[in-house]
Amino acid sequence: MNETEQIIRTEYSELMQKSYIDYAMSVIIARALPDVRDGLKPVQRRTLYDMYELGIRYDKPYRKCARIVGDTMGKYHPHGDSSIYDALVVMAQDFKKGMPLVDGHGNFGSIEGDGAAAMRYTEARLKKITQEAYLSDLDKDVVDFGPNFDETEKEPLVLPVKVPNILINGAEGIAVGMATSIPPHNFGEVIEGVKAYMKNPDINTEQMLEYIKGPDFPTGGIVVNKDDLLSVYSTGTGKIKIRGRVEIEKGKGGKEKIVITEIPYTMIGLGIGKFLNDVYHLVETKKTTDIVDISNQSSKEGIRIVIELKRGADAERICNLLYKKTRLEDTFGVNMLAVADGKPETMGLVPMIRHHVNFQYEIATRKYKTLLQKELEKKEIQEGLIKACDVIDLIIEILRGSKNIKEAKACLVEGTTGNIKFKSEKSKKQAAQLRFTERQATAILEMRLYKLIGLEIEALMKDHETTLKNIEKYETILGSRAAMAKVIIKELDAFKKEYAIPRKTTIENGKEIILEEPKMEEMEVVFLMDRFGYARTIDVTAYERNKEAADSENRCVIVCKNTDKIGIFTNLGQMHLLKVADLPYGKFRDKGQPIDNVSNYNSSEENLIFVASLMQMKEQKLLFVTKSGMLKIVSGAEFDVAKRTTAATKLGDGDEVIQIGVYEEGLHLVLQSKKSMFLRLEASCIPEKKKGAIGVRGMKLSGDDEISETYLMMPGENIKIMLKDKELELNRLRIGSRDTKGVKRG
């Protein structure tokens, strides 16, 4: 046996246990889980850093992915090339990442599960956001570097990411004995959340959810368990229920089509094909006989899966069947696990932001310390050069009298004059008093003669002033946490302004899917809505008993069927439908339900203009008036749609609807402008148009004038209004022609 060999006797199970734990920790820390500070796994961090080192910036030409992968593998990531390329591809896919970090050129796969082309064909470069918010300041000693696997290179242990990437892009990873699953979030919302934490470090999860509403998946969709989000984000674990977005369209011959325009995030890839097969299976097993055909019409413009139905099929019931029996409604399991302080930890929303903010203060402190040090060095040199300019003749004399640079430097720094020849004793005495620093002396000896030109000396003085200002600025930032917070928030605001995008995923409390609903017995009810937008239905006899109070206390009173829908028309030209059956039915004095809760109407963003029963509307014609004076009549049958929200009219820029009324034969319309111009028209002169038309001009308005009031009158009816303390009878106005200015009153 070789003398250097040693045999260690040990229990085999102990050795296996230790080896397995070492392996497990290696996988957890150095492979599968992201770091909470930059939200990146090692392979992602190394790939981005390599691209930065190779100079593949957003404003430079694309480079072959094979070059990037090879360089990353050779320098930083000694694993298979496929793992590096796969990570690179995912960072470029806008349907997987809330904020893609790589700008891919070529085939980088599709949402339907098609793989990317081979790395020898595809090209990539960094995105602008990656360069500005993920990789900037690496030259300012903001993060620690460590040796690579063979100790021939240095690599950053974490990237100085200035935005909470772990929340913006989310993360997925399977380690040994644990897994992470963090959903992506909206860029702008997350930045607002960080700012809120910086202003109030005691903020709780409930308060944080006012800023970060919930996940924002790049595929859109609808989160339907809003009430569960507080628990999910408090603990860092839980389930998020997502539904695809579905629209019901009218097809040929009165048939309806279910069109899926957004899919659950979990359906990305092979899930779409699986969904199509599941729908086929529902038809084959006779779970439904109402589906005629299904086709995937998705393109680069977006998802469009069309399910054609038989004539007379209940589209809503089919939607419920799809939610219940396929992955059109799915669950995203949340487990917010990340590496924090070198160990894996499951964190809620606020702790994750806390880690990020602490990291921001750390990198900002290191950055401004580095900048301050550079400015102090610059100040030292500038002061030396300014001082040198004042005694330049003496310095030239020292240089001419010195045998070598060592003697000259010794004289400048220590005043050593022994071996230097001077023209006079006075010069020698002056030289002996010189006390430049080492750095100043080096700068003086390296200074070129043209620096003695007057303008150059002026520039030096200006530079010195700038340096002093920078020193003061950096010392202020480093001197207080509040000043540093101000700088960080300013930078975050700049990122938000440039890169924030609107939210794609809707967050709501969706109704539980119930397939077998008992057939509703049709009956006549009265729809009541008060001036605060609370609506309910009551029995017809209850209404008749309280008719006077009901009419005076409510904004809308409509006799309709409980199977009917109510159309809510808004100033923004939208019509929102709500089912009468969704409203509370009870006694006259019972409280109603806000129409915001049972329809898509949003009282904080739009004003209610007109409310009508869909069944009654189908037999009527509606007159539209906008504030720019556009008029049209539309058949009520046009509004018999299945969509919960539809465009009721087309509006010009800055225009809005101010009046919708029921058109009747003989109706007169009076338009009043802000500048007290009046025009009385016979409504019969207004043409009938489609709901998608903009209409015709009813009144010529001058300058910034606009329609402020409209009045509808039937023959024999007289409306009196007060105008500047005078009464005006509208039926005394002369009937005018459409597209005229009208007459001035008041």
Q: How far apart are CA 137 and CA 488, in angstroms?
A: 14
Which residues, 6 or more positions from 532, have their beta carbon under 8 angstroms from its beta carbon?
594
| Residue whose pair of structure tokens reads 């320098």 in the numeric block | 75
Sheet containing 677-682, strands listed edge to edge, beginning at the edge strand earlier in sequence: 707-713, 668-673, 677-682, 743-744
- 49 as an active site residue: the answer is no
Distance of alpha carbon 262 from alpha carbon 266, whole angstroms:
12
Tokens found for residue 272: 């779409």
The label of the residue with tokens 């159309």 reads 567
Closest by CA to 327, choosing from 365, 249, 271, is: 271
Sign of the C-alpha dihedral computed for residues 468, 470, 476 and 478 taken in this order: negative
Residue keyed to tokens 């003398």: 3
Query: What spatial distance separates the first Cα and last Cα of the chain, rounded to whole Å?
Result: 118
And the tokens for 657?
């609807």
* CA pair distance 208, 356, nearest whole angstrom: 15
For residue 490, the tally of other CB atoms under 10 A from its CB is 9
With beta carbons less than 8 A apart as the criterion, state whether 357 and 194 touch: yes
Which residues have a Cβ under 8 Å from the Cβ of 638 and sit 6 or more positions away? Answer: 690, 691
Helix axes 405-414, 438-446, angle to 10 degrees: 130
List, in sequence order, every beta strand (DSSP E) within 244-287: 245-250, 256-262
Q: Which of 591, 569, 590 is nearest to 578 (CA)?
A: 569
Nearest to 452 by CA among 499, 496, 395: 395
Question: Which residues are within 8 A (CB) of 588 and not within 5 positions of it... i.e. 6 or more apart?
Answer: 538, 542, 543, 545, 546, 549, 550
d(CA 351, CA 197): 10
CA dihedral 726, 732, 737, 742 (to 10 degrees): -20
Rounded Cα–Cα distance for residues 527 and 525 (Å): 7
Instruction: Return the half-sphere exposure (C-beta side, CA atoms, 13 A cut-off) of residue 746.
Output: 17
DSSP state of 449: G
Q: How far apart are CA 543 and CA 536, in angstroms?
A: 12
680 and 668 Cβ atoms separated by less than 8 Å: yes
Report DSSP letters for 337-387, one per residue.
EEEETTEEEE--HHHHHHHHHHHHHHHHHHHHHHHHHHHHHHHHHHHHHHH
Torsion over CA of 284, 289, 295 and 301, rounded to 10 degrees? Answer: -130
Q: At what angle do helices 349-390 and 454-479 cross, to 10 degrees?
A: 150
Q: Which amino acid is at 570?
A: T
**CA-CA distance, 347 to 337, in Å (whole number)?**
6
Catalytic residue among 76, 121, 197, 361: 121
CA gap 382, 219 in Å, rounded: 57
Those residues with Cβ within 8 angstroms of residue 342's Cβ, 6 or more apart along the chain or in another chain: 29
Under a CB-based contact definition with an 8 Å cutoff, are residues 196 and 213 in contact?
Answer: no
- Please name which of 337, 332, 379, 404 lies closest in space to residue 475, comparing C-alpha atoms: 379
Residues with a catalytic annotation lie at 121
